[in-house]
Structure 1
């Protein structure tokens, strides 16, 4: 009897799974038919008057991503060839000139991004710039397009479907709209799409990896569908990177985490099956792989080492029985390489502190690696709650696991320490060597921005407030607002500085910087 019951249970489960798969396929077929996806091989669309949010570069953790205006936008996708060409012309527009990511933009900035299969590159005029690290997310972008999502669902082997209420107020009144949900995996990415009762794809969502926050939501919402040559296509794009909230959920209320709006535009021109020129992968792109992490060291003074070799640098400073590292940029791979170099340069001493100049993703992506190593992060008091609750958690990271998520230290949550710069100055010392951390007041780049001063060595370590020109290039004739804020703060604090040690670029004489920032000429 028990055996018969088991067989019946298994059969019922199989019947339920088969019915669910059939329902998902029926929803998919209705949407593909209604939107004209089946006859669509490629598509070109364009628009103006939108914006791009610079992800991970907000002025403060509570602010939205800083925006720049899209003077124009166009995209051509060939679904069969798995290629995409996207062109943007960006300008500052009327958006505030604060935050990172190259803000403020001077004049107009043209970007041409391409993807073909597993190859990604940019074009600057006729110059080809391979982007191997961007290939996976650019290829994903094809399938987050509303028609791309449906085509991905057609090819999926694990398509599932269900119904739920979601979104804002419904047409029928009340909160939420009944939608059909289709979901599948593509490589390591889980993708879900919401389809309304008009058989329109109104939302596509997945997660992408960021070193600081881990699995980070990527959400595309689509509206204002119109007919274009037998194909329905949305005229309103609104995208989020990170959840659309200003405060952390899961009990962390009061901790601001405002960055989410990453893209928005009104599409005016849609050309179904307009494929454009074939996208051919240049030889330079085919022969370029993600470069290995390289760390080079330069001794600046006794026990002070400049750790370069990439786009972002760190500085290691030796004390009597410990080491302090200034800046943990980019990601875990970079941080592990820097930590390894520090151990060679200063053996048998613990990295006790890692100083964080500011919270932008590219300057804080390696913090968790140092915490796993046993280091104590030091940041301005305004950033401590954000780091503690939003960053230093042990939530699973499914896309790019790091050491802290895979191998959490003993009693991590009970013993984790994060030092805050409380009075706009913080000193690390062993009684002989002194390292002073100062708040950079009034800077336009980031709230809680710190600069680091070594008084005896007359060295000033700073990030993003001044990026020196190449040694062969002429000095700038005008100063940016960030340059001016750095200069004014050094003058205010009466710091004795001989050289600037930037996180980007090269060691630069203070006297030459004064010629730029002290001239009174600004751009």
Structure 2
């Protein structure tokens, strides 16, 4: 059994990669304040006329290239998984404040590694849309509210002509600045609570070359986004780049090579009638005595009662979702503290609600490979869309574990395992409750599709096959599976998803007894050991 490490995110001794953007903005603003008054060598209308923006009502293009799924690496710190963009289409109507991006993807990595619904067999189409202030997405035929409109608003209003239209509407004026001996015109735009950006125009041609922005993000907070525009061509008197690169938090997310550019084509986009409210709701389902499945959204959580406190598995999606889970836990167990919340893995949709728990001073248990990732993320400013944690001196406290860990309590035992070698995430933590024969799993399996029998070998997802082999190798006796995505199912559903037809071996008489001698190393003891906390923080 591995020792749990303990550390706190501390802004004083870290400079995260995306924090560099903040330093650049600070230096830029300082230069404006302490230098001579900015020279308004051009009016905004000069840039608009040079780009042809005054002629643009709508903008459509198609593109090929590469997509790198943000935050979806198999291990924190690795490159994001790459996919081939077959024929991305963008449609923008500036007057209607409407955006539609539809992006068909093909698998690139062999073997699959990381998130993004790998392996893609055929095409997977990711689409996102915006009409006014309403943002939604479509994936695998399902229409859902966007988790945040920030990405779509940023895409629309930092596009080459969108930025100038947004600046015109806001009354922004260009500034003439010098950086590294080169002169630039800069134009600032923002959408309150969502993003802020500075466009950099080459004064030789008055073309937008780069946009440096910050977007509100649930995990990376004020996430830096740098967009590069190159290879300008003229289309019906309108200038538009032939290549667009988006960098998120220091990594490439989109690398687009445009095939066609079509200004002023009609764009028809309506909010789908089936689009549901983005209101955060929870449902609570009793699984067994002291075990509750908290649903009501795209991602779920599980609360497990111990003798003196409770443990929560997963705080997904967003701070709002995290707060809703907390309320559900408190409603069910009003007199018990939360010992810690278990973070299954670092992917954004599974870690977006952790800040809500951190604000309540609930320790976060995650895999040791996530240590640097969370330390940097929780040291980054959250000024665009502040939450309660960003307005206090409270520091998020993280506990780390290795390949496995047992929580031994008078009430029950919780066994935690890391799915080392999993194609999705090598730091993926699952929970097994031997007395109740319950498996709690996130990422490695979802029950969104109910099966009637075993999948054919060619249809089996290697991540689910890896999970099933892990279960068989450890002879885990499972009857009920609680996936973070999907619904409560019997173990047969997981078995069939892995293409298996036989339940794993289970022999209670030969099952090893719990290692009660390891009780001194339970999570509770580590949490209550000041010396251990102090030492681990010092080493970190």
What is the RMSD computed on CA atoms of the aligned residues? 2.8
Which of the numbers 142, 160, 170 marks the counterpart of 1:156? 170
Count of aligned pairs between the two proteins: 465
What residue ranges of structure 2 are gaps of 5+ in the alignment? 1-32, 503-540
Aligned 1:19-34 pairs, distance under 5 A: 23=40, 26=42, 28-34=44-50
What secondary structure sits across from 1:80 in the alignment?
coil
Is this contact kept in 1: 2:417–2:431, CA < 8 A? yes
Aligned residue for 1:256? Answer: none
> Does residue 391 of the first structure (1) align with residue 411 of the second (2)?
no
> Does residue 89 of the first structure (1) align with residue 104 of the second (2)?
yes
TM-score normalised according to structure 2 size:
0.79
- Pair 1:469–1:124, CA change in 2 (3 A): closer
Aligned residue for 1:146? Answer: 160
Which of the numbers 187, 207, 216 marks the counterpart of 2:214? 207
Aligned 1:177-326 pairs, distance under 5 A: 177-188=182-193, 189-196=195-202, 197-242=204-249, 244=250, 260-273=251-264, 275-284=265-274, 289-290=277-278, 292-326=279-313
Distance between the aligned counterparts of 2:271 and 2:494, measured in 1?
Answer: 42
Aligned residue for 2:389? Answer: 404
Distance between the aligned counterparts of 1:315 and 1:270, measured in 2?
Answer: 48
- Pair 1:103–1:164, CA change in 2 (3 A): farther
> Does residue 485 of the first structure (1) align with residue 466 of the second (2)?
yes
- Pair 1:282–1:514, CA change in 2 (3 A): closer
CA shift for structure 1 position 502: 1.0
- Pair 1:113–1:383, CA change in 2 (3 A): closer
CA shift for structure 1 position 374: 2.0
Is this contact kept in 1: 2:443–2:484, CA < 8 A? yes
CA shift for structure 1 position 520: 8.9
Distance between the aligned counterparts of 1:216 and 1:96, measured in 2?
Answer: 30
Which of the numbers 40, 61, 72 marks the counterpart of 2:76? 61
Cα deviation digits, residues 1-52 of structure 1 (max 9, x gap): xxxxxxxxxxxxxxx99x957706x15333323222222222222222x122
Aligned residue for 1:35? Answer: 51
- Pair 1:72–1:356, CA change in 2 (3 A): same
- Pair 1:85–1:438, CA change in 2 (3 A): closer
> Does residue 75 of the first structure (1) align with residue 61 of the second (2)?
no
Aligned residue for 1:252? Answer: none
What secondary structure sits across from 1:57 in the alignment?
coil
Is this contact kept in 1: 2:322–2:355, CA < 8 A? no
Distance between the aligned counterparts of 1:104 and 1:425, measured in 2?
Answer: 27
What residue ranges of structure 1 are gaps of 5+ in the alignment? 1-15, 167-175, 245-259
Aligned residue for 1:110? Answer: 125
Between 1 and 2, higher relative CO (CA 8 Å, sep ≥ 6) is seen in 2
- Pair 1:232–1:407, CA change in 2 (3 A): same
TM-score normalised according to structure 1 size:
0.82
Aligned residue for 1:430? Answer: 409
CA shift for structure 1 position 363: 0.6
